[in-house]
Structures are given as structure tokens and as C-alpha cells.
Amino acid sequence: MDEVLREQEYRLLMATCIAGQDRGNLPFGPHNTDGVVVFANTVDDEQLIEWHAVGFPCVLLYRLPPGDLSFPCVNVENHAAVRQLTEHLIEAHGRRRIAFIHAPDYHQDDLQREAGYREALRRYGLPYDAALVLRGDYRREQASRAIEAFLARVLSDCDAVVAGDDDLALTVLGALYRAGVNVPEQVAVVGFDDQHFAASLVPPLTTVRAPTEAVGRVAARQVLHLIRGEAVERETLLPTDLVLRRSCGCAGQSLRKGLSESYHPQMLVGR
């Protein structure tokens, strides 16, 4: 974002906000900035409605606008990615009792990813079991304890774990190691994001590669379009790739598997 904005002689300012707690006390807004990019659910719907009413340039990242508001948003393909990731566990590795772990902060991304997980189960005639889903109702610092308690309950009836992001997958791998469970022989583990550490884990983590830098560039261009009164896309959906490694049971070198059905060239900005 900063690279794109500096080229156009704008400065990027950053602030951390918590939806519902910082309302009425946000450091940025129409009074002191030209526009804003909102990450996930850090600003509540009521604030967005107020900004929309006064025409304040606003772009949303990793969330959809509330109601029928016309804020543009930038997202990555979550649903198809996790569906295909789960289908890979089922089809390529014979997994049948697959757990799903949400991120603690429980963004819209998590809902889309769970929807993809559930669709994969339906496609293969596997029952959805709520006991195999850990909701994001715990704090990030409590993730290790929450996941260990969850796995202790389900391990006897579970042969794979789909983690909502790579940080959670790392926590799952640690919990399984301490429990004496072999990955992927006994339980396969997959994540989402393809963070820098994913390929260096033992075993290397199968995950979904999300185009994080592209999301930032697109969001910056979109907010510039709004500031200038130019037309923008209602939603920009960027494609993701499966990265198959050892943690799911795949052997050898990493393989990137493109999700062709998630590619929407007419919605990309500045490919």
C-alpha cells in the first residue's frame, strides 16, 4: 500500500482499532484524512454507515460492506480454496474425519473458509459434525490451550485438521507433537496464507498461498480512485493457490496447484 500511495504523493498512516470499543474515538476519518482502508472487522458497521453517508472514501479489506452500502472491497478466494484443500485430504489421502479450527478473531474470511470445508464434505457424502469444529471464541493468547483441549477431545475420532490460518496450523502441529501424534501419518494438518515459516516447519506445511501484497496494492489503487471520484469495482476477488507439502501426506518438493475456477480477470486491478 505504501509503495502505491507514495508514487502518488500520499502518505500511509496506520492505527490499530477494535470494533465496538473505539467507536467515536477513531484517530482517522473525514476530519483529517483523504481516505481510509479498513482491515477486516476493526471498524464496526455503524461507523461505516456514517462514513458512507458523508461520502468518505473507504475501501474494505477481507470483509464485505454491511447492507447495501457501496464501499468497494478487496478479498481473496477463500471458499473454493478451502473446499479444494479439504477435497485433496479426502481424495488424495483418504481422510474422512476432518476437523476445522477457526481463527480467534473470527472474520468473514473464516466463515467463507468453513463454508468451503462444509461443501467439500457434502460433495463426498461425509457428515458434518459440529463436534469437530472449534469456533473462534477464544483470545489469541489462549489459542494453544484452546486447541490442545479441543484436540484432546477429538483425536480419537479425527484424522485431519484444517486450520483457519498458518499460525493456528503451527499451534496444532505443536499440540500434536506434545501428544505423541505423528503428522501426517496419523493426523494430516493444513493451513491458509503460506506464511514465511510454512515451508520450514517439520513437516513442511500444506497450505493456501494468498496474494497478500497484491491485496495491499489493489486496495491502495482503489482508495485513490475513490479520492479522485473515479469508478471502482464493487468487489475485487484475488485468486489463491494450493501449496502441497508433507503435512498433508504429499511427498517431495512443494507443488503449487492453481485454483483456476477462482480466477476472475475482469475483477482484477493492475494485474
Q: Which pLDDT tens digit goes with each residue over 126-162?
A: 999 999 999 876 676 788 889 999 999 999 999 999 9
Domain 79-210+241-261 CATH (choose: 3.60.130.10, 3.40.50.2300, 3.40.718.10, 3.10.20.30): 3.40.50.2300
Quick one: pLDDT at residue 254? 46
Delimit the domains of the chain by residue range: 2-76+211-238, 79-210+241-261
Instruction: Identify each DSSP E strand in the chain by its residue range.
Output: 36-39, 58-61, 73-76, 98-101, 133-134, 160-163, 188-190, 207-209, 235-238, 241-244, 255-258
Q: What mean pLDDT is reported for the chain?
A: 88
Q: Same CATH fold, 79-210+241-261 and 2-76+211-238? A: yes
Quick one: pLDDT at residue 99? 98
Is residue 19 scored above 70 in pLDDT?
A: no
Burial of 186 (0-12, 13-18, 19+ CB in 10 A): middle
Quick one: pLDDT at residue 228? 96
Is residue 182 scored above 90 in pLDDT?
A: yes
Q: Is pLDDT larger for residue 104 or for residue 222?
A: 222
Q: Which pLDDT tens digit goes with each residue over 189-213?
A: 999 999 999 999 999 999 999 999 9
Tell the CATH superfamily of the 2-76+211-238 domain.
Response regulator (3.40.50.2300)
Burial of 244 (0-12, 13-18, 19+ CB in 10 A): buried
Query: Does the predicted model carry a pTM greater than 0.95?
Result: no
